[in-house]
Amino acid sequence: MISISAPAICSVPGAHSRRDAFGWYLKPKPKPKPKSLVKPLCCSAEIDYQVLSAINTSYNDILILDTAESRMLLLDSTHNIHSVFIKGQVWTGSYWDEFASLPAIIPEGPIAIFGLGGGTAAHLMLTLWPSLQLHGWEIDEILIDKSREHLGLSDLEKPTEGGGILNVHIGDALSSSSTVPGGYAGIVVDLFSGGEVLPQLQEVQTWLELNGKLMTNGRLMVNCGGSTCGGGIWEKNSTLKTLCKAFPGQVNWKKMPKSDGENYLALTGPLPDLTLWAAALPPRLGSSVVQWDSWRGLGVGVGTVVGEGFGVRRGEIRLNECKCLIVRYRPRKKDLHVTFGHYYRVDLFNATLDKQLYELNSRFNEETIELLSLSSSLSSKEINIDEICLLVEKYYPQDFTDQEKIQLRYQLEIFNIEKSKNINLSGASTISDLCKSLVDTKKRETYYLVDRVIRLILTLPVSTATTERGFSAMKIFKNRLRNKMSDDYLANSLVVYIEKEIAENFDSESIIDDFKNLKGRRAEL
């Protein structure tokens, strides 16, 4: 849940303004309507809002606000945001988005949401996974009615094109009745009261009972709330501590950024392969799942971020299956904690992979790939005439006249027939072999246009490689001491350097003789 200041339910103009996790200030005005939300981090303009519903129930103080961008469900006297509906998009930019990553790492089967609220998580999950069978549990029936009326919850109770649907249940999610035959594949736990995690969730037995509602290999994903006190993570969040006691070595955790509420999230079961998990999700969501970390091994002390909570001195790092923490000293509010496994498998690997893909895409762009694809038709048993004509029309328009382009099609038709009957021509497996066969069989002059196409294609890699080698050689020759050499001298020097294999065949005496024969000299050379 995310804290936000809002007008009191009975008296709408509230007390002092406070900023919420989205960077907004509720700024009541003397007039009852309209109210305004101010977004100081993004712009200075005021955003009008109105109160859609304000009601007290046996379980909650419900307040639903409407702005031009979103609708928000605020609960309790603390005015915590329990649900948000962003108009025109499904992403919320907060912990609700993380819940939508759960279906990628659990078996097929129904998923429960304990603490449905206005259905924010259910809305995103059914958008990304249209075939999901969701079961949302909420104890407050009036809250469900208001969510259906103002937050689009009723739309989720209709089957999607993929057959998915949200089944809403009114009742206690922690009771024995909140089960389905065969168990849930996953359970999302988002249970709060009075701005705090339910006290029942601080008991190990509660988590064991929830785990009993899962099928084999099922998982729990939990919103553990924010920090409750100082010290290490263990002390900061008592819900995480209870989870670790209930499932030793089987709890993974993540802390949301400050802009997203700084909530701690927990995931039971072995830490998934983060790379595969990210690949199964949209890029926006996949980039965030790599921040999950495992609590395995913390009982013996792993590193300094959980630090003093486990009796490990600051700066001490112990290797434990490459899951120890790399501590990077930064300002206290921006401490980073990265495992060795995450660094090598994500940071370093992704950077290397991106660099390689960039180089390949730069070298083999769409035009190059198309050129190579069209050229490969010449080395096949039967030449694709349309592809060769397209090749000439698109990449070599200046090398053929309009009349020659028409004649080329007829030459290719006749060449295809002769190629199938001539063993020397049909035996050519590459374009260079085909060029040699045309010369050996003395068909080069007969099919002169076909020969021209072949030679243009064969010169392509040479011209490309020569250009690349030219730039490399230029760095060697045109250095600081030779910066003023003329273009002709530079070009001649580069030719000799690039074509080393040919230049080695010329000895000094033959070069002197050629220079001598250029014109008469007064002195003998």
| 392 within some domain | yes
- Please name every residue paired with 294 in a beta bridge, in sequence order, or none if there are none: 252
CA distance linking residue 13 with residue 506, whole number of Å: 95
- The answer on 413 and 494 residing in a single domain is no
- How many Cβ atoms from other residues are within 10 Å of residue 521's Cβ? 10
Mean pLDDT of 167-190: 92
The reported pLDDT for the residue numbered 4 is 45
Q: Which of 412, 435, 459 is where one domain is finished?
A: 459
Q: Considering the chain, what percentage of its residues have pLDDT values greater than 90?
A: 14
In tens, the pLDDT along 476-503 reads: 877 777 777 888 888 888 888 888 888 8
| 398 within some domain | yes
Domain count, the chain: 3
- Higher pLDDT: 517 or 227? It is 517
CA distance linking residue 125 with residue 156, whole number of Å: 10
In tens, the pLDDT along 433-454 reads: 888 888 888 888 888 898 898 8
The reported pLDDT for the residue numbered 111 is 94
| 46 within some domain | no
- Please name every residue paired with 336 in a beta bridge, in sequence order, or none if there are none: 328
Confidence label for 505 from pLDDT (cuts 50, 70 and 90)? confident
Of 262, 320, 272, 316, the C-alpha closest to 293 is 272
- The answer on 513 and 390 residing in a single domain is no
The reported pLDDT for the residue numbered 349 is 81
Three-state secondary structure call for residue 476:
helix
Domain coverage including residue 494: 465-518
| 26 within some domain | no
Q: How long, in residues, is the chain?
A: 525
| 345 within some domain | no
Contact of 96 with 131, CB cutoff 8 Å: no
| 27 within some domain | no
- The answer on 506 and 389 residing in a single domain is no
Contact of 60 with 75, CB cutoff 8 Å: yes
Q: Which of 294, 311, 338 is where one domain is finished?
A: 294
In tens, the pLDDT along 285-295 reads: 888 888 888 76
The reported pLDDT for the residue numbered 228 is 57
- The answer on 447 and 431 residing in a single domain is yes
Confidence label for 62 from pLDDT (cuts 50, 70 and 90)? confident
Q: Which of 242, 267, 294 is where one domain is finished?
A: 294
- The answer on 469 and 437 residing in a single domain is no
Three-state secondary structure call for residue 111:
strand
The reported pLDDT for the residue numbered 309 is 35
* Cα dihedral sign, 40-43-45-50: negative
- Higher pLDDT: 148 or 68? It is 148
- H helix runs in 267-378, sequence order: 274-279, 283-289, 340-342, 349-363, 366-375
- The answer on 391 and 289 residing in a single domain is no
| 302 within some domain | no
- The answer on 491 and 406 residing in a single domain is no
The reported pLDDT for the residue numbered 221 is 93
- The answer on 439 and 420 residing in a single domain is yes
Instruction: Write down the residue that tokens 């069209």 correspond to.
Output: 374
Mean pLDDT of 25-36: 37
- DSSP, residue by residue, 60-106: -EEEEEEESSEEEEEETTTTEEEEEEETT-S--SSHHHHHTTGGGGS
| 253 within some domain | yes
